[in-house]
Amino acid sequence: MNESTDLPILLIVAFGISRIDAQKMIIPDRGIVLGLFSVFLLVYIGVLTATNVLAGMVFAAIQFGMVYLLLPGSMGLGDVKYAIMLGAFLGPIRWLIAAILCALLALAASIPNLISQPRVRNVKIPLAPYMSCSALVVRILMGVN
């Protein structure tokens, strides 16, 4: 099986989840389930390794789960679940790079709001498009895990 088999799957799932999050500010559980099912199918056919998938899931769960628990209201539980799914696709090292890139992209997108409305600090932005973009960039540049 071609090792680039995961890229179109990741692209389709990421695009769908990002579009819904950008429009409705919600990440659908069905998209997460579809993505995780795809990951486990890719493990079964030998494209991804089970150890990298599990390590990526655990790493993303700890990283985004701590933010969710320690900074209430900073992100939703859907963002945590989506991070776990992307961690499964990318593995722990690629996920760490994608998470840093995601934070930088979200910050860059938030700067105009912060400048135009300096007194408003609790502007909510959909995080899934930035997570998707960073995951796809990392996957394309660094290859499969």
- pLDDT, mean of residues 11-22: 96
Give the pLDDT score at 34: 96
pLDDT interval class at 145 (50, 70, 90): low
Give the pLDDT score at 9: 93
In the chain, the number of structural domains is 1
Question: Exposed, middle or buried by CB within 10 Å (0-12, 13-18, 19+), for 84?
Answer: buried
pLDDT digits (tens, 9 = 90+) for 35-89: 999 999 999 999 999 999 999 999 999 999 999 999 998 899 999 999 999 999 9
Residue 10 has pLDDT above 90, yes or no: yes
Pick the more confident residue, 116 or 13.
13
Amino acid identity of 127? L
Give the pLDDT score at 5: 84
pLDDT digits (tens, 9 = 90+) for 89-133: 999 999 999 999 999 999 999 888 778 876 766 778 899 999 999
- Kindly state the tokens that stand for 18: 């990002």
Q: Which of 30, 52, 26 is nearest to 40 (CA)?
A: 52
Give the pLDDT score at 123: 74
Give the pLDDT score at 56: 97
- pTM summary value: 0.92
* Residue 141 and residue 133 in contact, taking contact as beta carbons nearer than 8 Å: no
Give the pLDDT score at 68: 96
The residue range of the domain holding 98 is 3-142
Give the pLDDT score at 122: 72
